[in-house]
Amino acid sequence: MKEFLKRYGLWVLFATAVIAVGLALLSVFSTTSSPLVNFAQTVTSPFRAAYTAVADWVQDKQNYYEDTTALKAENEELKQKIAQMEAEVRQAQSDSEENERLRNLLNLREQRRDLSDFEAATITEHSTSNWTSYLTLNRGTDHGVKKKDCVITESGYLVGVVSDVGNNWCTVLNIIDTDTSLGAQVFRTDDIGVAEGDFALMGKGRLRLDFLPAGAQLLNGDLVVTSGLGGYYPSGLVIGTVEEIQTDDSGATSYAVLQPSADFDSLSQVFIIKSFDIVD
């Protein structure tokens, strides 16, 4: 190589200079690109196209992966936000319902000054037998609850009477249970009777109004409330409405079938009347 350069170096340099000058002159005087550039570009063009296609594909994949990862993270975050918002909505609904109940109770307190002491209670269990109708509440002697305390809804509808009490629980016999018996009064006519559970009616969610005075003229839809006679229970608590009048098996006396105003199946919170003033 050294020998070659010594011998032909000047000639190679000269030839290179001539070619360079020639190419420079061609590129100056030509309207298109120089032949050498054109040749090089023509040869490498397919390779560059292929390289660009591969590079684009890789870029796409990379973008797709980055987008997917970001979307997954965003989706997860949104899901958490939705869950949190749903929990807040549920809490708000629960608070709203409780607020509504307490507002009604406040109205009831204002209307009924004789009902002096209420205890709010949550129903922890509905009937566990097919033969009785009762509720278990989360309030007991620790909260001042006693046997025979009346239990009402926020609207003042009678639910039942406390039958058993423990430290932090009590059971309430619903007014339709066969063991329940209350002094009752027909609101329109002031007729006095006894509202009591009847097994034949309990399955239909009804109770009966017995011992009505002879000649009592009841109408369907008549409101029946507690009479308060004897001072065992407060007066004026809504028991239900007269659904129909029926004659006893003996045919001698008649009784009214009452539809309770309280809907036992949909109850979740009730109020225990711990004390009341006897109204004459």
Does 250 sit near other proteins (CB under 8 A)?
Answer: no
CB closer to other proteins, 42 vs 266: 266
Does 180 sit near other proteins (CB under 8 A)?
Answer: no
Q: Which of these, 172, 173, 166, lies nearest to 142 by C-alpha position? A: 166
Does 259 sit near other proteins (CB under 8 A)?
Answer: no
Cα 152 to chain centroid, rounded: 24
In angstroms, give the least distance from the CB of 173 to other proteins.
Answer: 8
Mark 183-222 with x for binding to other proteins (rule: CB under 8 A) and - for no binding. Answer: ---------------xxx--x-------------------
CB closer to other proteins, 104 vs 127: 127
Footprint of other proteins on residues 9-68 (CB under 8 A)? none
Q: Using CB under 8 A, which of the segments 68-76, 99-107, 171-179, 272-280 binds other proteins? A: 171-179
Does 252 sit near other proteins (CB under 8 A)?
Answer: no
Within 10 angstroms of residue 128's Cβ, the number of other Cβ atoms is 8
Within 10 angstroms of residue 139's Cβ, the number of other Cβ atoms is 26
In angstroms, give the least distance from the CB of 204 to other proteins.
Answer: 9
- Binding-site member from 77, 117, 179, 244 for other proteins (CB under 8 A): 179
Distances (CA, A) of 63 to 70, 71, 78, 157: 10, 12, 22, 65
Amino acid at position 122, single letter? T
Does 254 sit near other proteins (CB under 8 A)?
Answer: no
CB closer to other proteins, 32 vs 129: 129
Footprint of other proteins on residues 105-134 (CB under 8 A)? 127-132, 134
- Binding-site member from 152, 159, 171, 225 for other proteins (CB under 8 A): 171
Residues forming contacts to other proteins in the complex (CB under 8 A) are: 127-132, 134, 163-164, 171, 173, 178-179, 198-200, 203
